Amino acid sequence: MTILVTGAAGFIGFHLCKRLLTLGEEVVGIDNINSYYDQKLKTARLNILKENSEKNFHFYKESIENKDAVLNIFEKYKPIKVVNLAAQAGVRYSIENPDAYVKANLVGFLNIIECCRNAKIKHFVYASSSSVYGGNKLMPFSENHSVDHPVSLYAATKKSNELIAHSYSHLYNLPSTGLRFFTVYGPWGRPDMALFIFTKSILEGKPIEVYNHGNMLRDFTYIDDIIESVLRIINKAPKKDDTFDMNNPSPSYSWAPHKIFNIGNSQPTKLMDFINAIENSLGKEAKKIFLPLQPGDVPGTSSNTELLEKWINFKPYTSVEEGINKFVNWYKDFYEIV
């Protein structure tokens, strides 16, 4: 079975490809290796995938906005399942660079799902985000809650992805599953994320910027738990639900073969506790600069994962302390810090 993974050199994409390859799957990876963050880190991830499985891993340095290139890859490998993780990431970056989000998250997404429709693939899995909950105050966030009030363009593009996927599931009977990831962290993580930034700054003796004066709450979810969830979801495509009540519609499911799931640890952590765990792991105290909430940010996230657990019989469980220790060990090893 050939599985196509976009964003293969990214944080989640790399870990997913690595697991699929260890399971003996043939994987086709697409990534444009853009300069949003350190390209050397992306290249290092790719090298691991290529070294561990030269025959089963096929990589293309391409942007999913390039419709002809994507179409050629689909025609050549005829994937059975597709996982779309390629996107322009980052909430704050979307305020300054909106064009990048329209191109990758909307145009690119449409190119991929169009190819999936034409190829009649068995399951289209795509990354959404907890950011879609926007200004919601009621926590934990449930798939049944409204996501009609995004507070960043990034969040708006992710909700758009969910709507586009649902329409394709309805029109073309394309089995699709959207995954609302909650603050993913762990080894090989993104340099623009808090854990990476804090660890680097603390080790270098530089101050860290603590937004909302430290009054942030995040549902940090360890990468291995994310990948285990994604693997199980890939192998369980949604089906049509003839019992769907159109007089009382629920956002969490549909008459079409389309589902949306939260993937989070369901144990929201205070930002100051998160920083404390990093300090303990490093054995070094951070110098802190307290700042107000940034545009596009939300003060808290927390996931209700009951639907996920019922669907795949798995729930993310790794503690923040354990996950941070694993990240710190990787960071020191990768950057050769004694």
| Within a domain: 213 | no
Based on the residue annotation, tell me whether 185 is a catalytic residue of this protein.
no
What is the domain count for the chain? 1
Give yes or no for residue 54 having a pLDDT over 80: no
pLDDT in tens, 108-154: 999 999 999 999 999 999 999 999 999 888 999 999 999 999 999 99
Is 154 within a domain?
yes
Q: Is residue 196 part of a domain?
A: no
- Look up the pTM and report it: 0.96
Torsion of CA 16, 21, 26, 32, to 10 degrees: 50
% pLDDT > 70, the chain: 100
User: CA angle, 27 as apex, 42 and 103 as ends, to 5°?
Assistant: 55
Residue 90 belongs to domain spanning: 2-185+221-265+302-317
**Residue 35: other Cβ atoms inside 10 A:** 8
Going by their DSSP bridges, the two strands 269-270 and 217-218 should be labelled as: antiparallel
Q: Is residue 290 part of a domain?
A: no
256: Cβ contacts below 8 Å, ≥ 6 apart: 166, 169, 170, 173, 240
Distance between CA atoms of residues 155 and 98, nearest Å: 12
Candidate from 52-66, 100-114, 193-207, 320-334 with smallest mean pLDDT: 52-66
97 lies in some domain:
yes
Instruction: Compute how many other C-beta atoms are within 10 angstroms of the C-beta atom of residue 294.
Output: 12
Please state, in angstroms and rounded to a whole number, the distance separating the CA atoms of residues 185 and 221. Answer: 6
* Rounded (10°) angle between helices 320-334 and 271-282: 50
**22 domain residue, yes or no:** yes
Reported residue count of the chain is 338
Contact by Cβ (8 Å): 127, 84: yes
Tell me if 338 is assigned to some domain: no
CATH of the domain at 148: 3.40.50.720
The one catalytic residue in 36, 154, 185, 211 is 154
In degrees and rounded to multiples of 5, residue 212 shows phi and psi of 55, 30
Report yes or no on 107 lying in a domain. Answer: yes
For residue range 79-106, list pLDDT tens digits in order.
999 999 999 988 888 888 999 999 999 9
